[in-house]
Chain A
Amino acid sequence: MLFNRIFRREKPGPEISKSRHFFGSFLDCNKPGERDNHYRKAGELFRDGYSVEAILEILQYLNDPDRGNVEYQSNEFSVEFRIHQGRKQINGRLDNQGLQAEASMAEYDRANASFLRNVLERNYFLQYCRFSQPQSGKLSLHCHLAVEKLSAEKVFFALKELCLKADIAGEELLFDFDELKETGLSPKYVCPEEHWKLKSRFLREWSAQTLDALASKNTEKEPLPVSLLIINFFYRADYLLRPSGKPGRLIKIGMEDFRDKTKALSHRVQKARELLKELQQLDESVMRGSFCSAVYTFGLLKPSSHKEVSQAMVEQLQKGVVFRHKKDEHIRLLMLENIAGYCLFVFGMYEPVKELLTMVYRVLYPEFFHRLGMGSRLYNTASDTLNPKEILAGITRIVETHRQAHPRLRFYSNMLVFTNLNTFLESFLQEITRLNFDEKNSHG
């Protein structure tokens, strides 16, 4: 209660648009230049000994006003703040004692050597924070930095480690140890019934569709489409559905296993099939609570320059040319989806690139987005026709939204070819590779 009183926002931020959806997790990087300025200022203020002012700059750097992921309030001598990261909220305070931040992790009724040891073992690998027990029966993750030794980098990386570990370890501990009851959940981590039902439906549907498609393929003779079908499923499920809990774990493990090239492809495909079947059969009680909306302050991925992203895309597009010549439209389509999925999974991209690549999914899976309430379908699967008007409007919306942060951003829509699905996607991806950005160094 006290905390809620403290955390009245000084200036209420804009409300999150009800129709705006955030996909993917741990992708927050390449922040706009204006937010970078806050980071630079923080560095200078820390050097001059103005810790309170400096930490406020850091918090503004971390805060995305659209998401309201950081809340704070301050007076002359101290700052209290709250950061939202996935399932967790992290509370912190800076005063003349230093910077202290803590994520409440879990509570338990009876001590058990296995989870207590598990967190103590995790401590060995932590750089700034540590698991501890603030009170009997409670576990927390906290960090403490002495005030006279603060720098922008130290504060940023300490908070980053604390937030990321709290979110990831929070879920892992919950999954591994039934005795633990999770605490410290972010109020922004919500699972509206219609969302989890919709996402679990699509997880089952996509698993079934992938299994059906695999059934008609011979792994030995068609290794490329088989691999693409599986990996595309993983990328899509991970980015669009963002499952946590058991389905999230299964997808993570499945992806790791499938990418393990030391094993024969036939073995990896077999394991993937089994996993797809398991996903398909997960019951409602498991699915409930596994598809939550959340906001993320820190990203796991390192920021990538657009040059890196476009190089990878161009390489893949070139590989697809042979299938265009062969008129193998099925493989070509799988490869085009793969380009979007791969980039969204691997790179910490600029926000507009991320949104444009999400449009690839909007085109390929119109029903999912339509059900989510994200406007008209960009592609009509029944009639195999694209919706150029909506596509162009979508592109314009993305470019205009980010114009201020990236003044050189231009998308040459007149280069798009709407004759059929593959040709369109190819021309669309080509144009993404040609986008202009003022490349900069960013922390994330």
Chain B
Amino acid sequence: MKKTVMDELLFKNKDFVVQISTPFGTGSGFLLSEPLCIITNYHIVKGHGEVVVQGNPFPKKVVSVVYTDVLLDLALLEVPQGYQPGSEQPVLFEGTVPEGQMVVAIGHPFGLNYSLTKGVISKNNREYNGVQYLQTDAAIHPGNSGGPLVNENGVIVGLNTMAFSGSTRIGFSLPSKYIIDSLRLYKGFYPQRVLRCSSCRSPQLFEQAKGGYCENCGKAFPKEEIHPREFEPSGMVAVVEKMIERLGYDVRLARNGPFLWELSKGESRLQILYAQNTGFLVMDTVVCVLPPKDISRFYEFLLQESYLQKNLVISVRGEKVLLSWMLHENDFNEEEALGAIDDLLEKPVAYRRTIEQKFGV
């Protein structure tokens, strides 16, 4: 498969593939129009009534989980309010995917935006728990789950679901035919919250299933499906979240994982990390990327600025210039941290102006 085809596939799917995050991790999903929803894996949203979605067509939003199917490891989410699908829509493949076909897994592995990994269908009917999966050697990393597996023509052939334990190069995708069936089934209930029984496969309205058992066959639903847990932060995580709320941010949207948050203000983006193993609270913001020329003079400028900064650290990481602040949890002081957040959201803007003037970056 040529690079240009990969580029085209990414371009085609960029508006459909979204990132999904919960307080415990992130995954991928993609937008569908009939009915209008986001499809992803159940294991990504497991135990949550609401999750955060973010993608090209909309900024970070909290949406509800509207359909869950534990057996197929599939979930449907509502789309953010105000979202209007464009004229181009993703196409789901209905037939049997031939073995040997080139495919591409699209998603947001490790929280990275839009990654593509290519491979082939090595087996089209790998059975697990009575479900026939597509086996592929396209790498499926953590965070890729819930994203689409597309063929060369950009048609969705599966939902990336799991990787073989110990190897990211043996992945399994739920074939599109299961997705189509599920969408047809759900269409009749849209937009109500529905659970699908893993035993008799009958759909149950959430309100009816609240007793915890399938009304049809008596099979118990997993507890977390019936009683989604509220995330209850504790310790330093609670302290950070309280601080974020005090600043007027919706903490659900700020979360990027159990110990990671992201705040935006204008053109500045601030990442807050609580490193549990060391007890340090670290805040990083990107000032700019390194300029292509006059680099020594630029580095000297950064080091001179570093001398003037009292609390903030200027560093280079990869191609980026970062402004950071760090404090050990034992020394935590909310006022100091709030001051640092303010600085980290404001100072990069001023720095960018100066750097632009001095170095033309």
Contacts and interface: CB of A to CB of B under 8 A. Distances in A.
A121 B299 CA distance: 11
Contact of B300 (A116, A121, A127): A116
Interface stretch (A133-141, A241-249, A261-269, A316-324): A133-141
Contact of A154 (B300, B317, B331): B331
A130 B314 contact: yes
Nearest to B322: A124
B306 A116 contact: no
A120 B314 contact: yes
B336 interface: yes
A132 B331 contact: no
A123 B305 CA distance: 13
From DSSP, what is the main secondary structure of chain A's interface residues?
mixed
Interface stretch (A5-13, A145-153, A282-290, A368-376): A145-153
Contacts of A123: 306, 313-316
B333 interface: yes
A111 B310 CA distance: 25
Q: How large is the interface on A (under 10, 10 to 19, 20 to 34, 35 or more residues)?
A: 20 to 34
A140 B280 CA distance: 24
Contact of B307 (A112, A116, A121, A133): A133
Interface string A146-165: 10010101100100000000
Given A116-B300, A123-B314, A123-B315, A133 B322 contact: no
Contacts of B313: 123-124, 126, 130
A117 interface: yes
Contacts of B328: 127, 153-154, 157
Contacts of B316: 117, 120-121, 123-124
B300 A133 contact: yes
Interface in A101-126: 111-113, 116-117, 119-124, 126
A132 B310 contact: no
Nearest to B310: A144
A131 interface: yes
A93 interface: no
Contacts of B307: 132-134, 140, 142
A21 B239 CA distance: 50
A114 to B, nearest CB: 9
Contacts of A112: 296
Interface range on chain B (Cβ under 8 Å from partner): 20 to 34
Given A111-B299, A124-B315, A131 B331 contact: no
A51 B70 CA distance: 60
B330 A121 contact: no
Nearest to B306: A132
A139 B302 CA distance: 12
Contact of B303 (A120, A124, A144, A154): A120
A120 B333 contact: no
Nearest to B324: A124
Given A120-B316, A131-B306, A111 B297 contact: yes
A144 B297 CA distance: 25
A146 B310 contact: yes
Interface string B154-166: 0000000000000
Given A124-B316, A144-B311, A146-B311, A113 B299 contact: yes
Interface of A: 98, 111-113, 116-117, 119-124, 126-128, 130-134, 136, 139-140, 142, 144, 146, 149, 151, 153-154, 157
Interface of B: 280, 295-297, 299-300, 302-304, 306-307, 309-311, 313-317, 322, 324, 326, 328, 330-331, 333, 336
Task: List the 5 shortest-distance A-B pairs measured between CB atoms, nearest first.
Answer: A116-B299, A123-B315, A132-B307, A133-B303, A132-B306
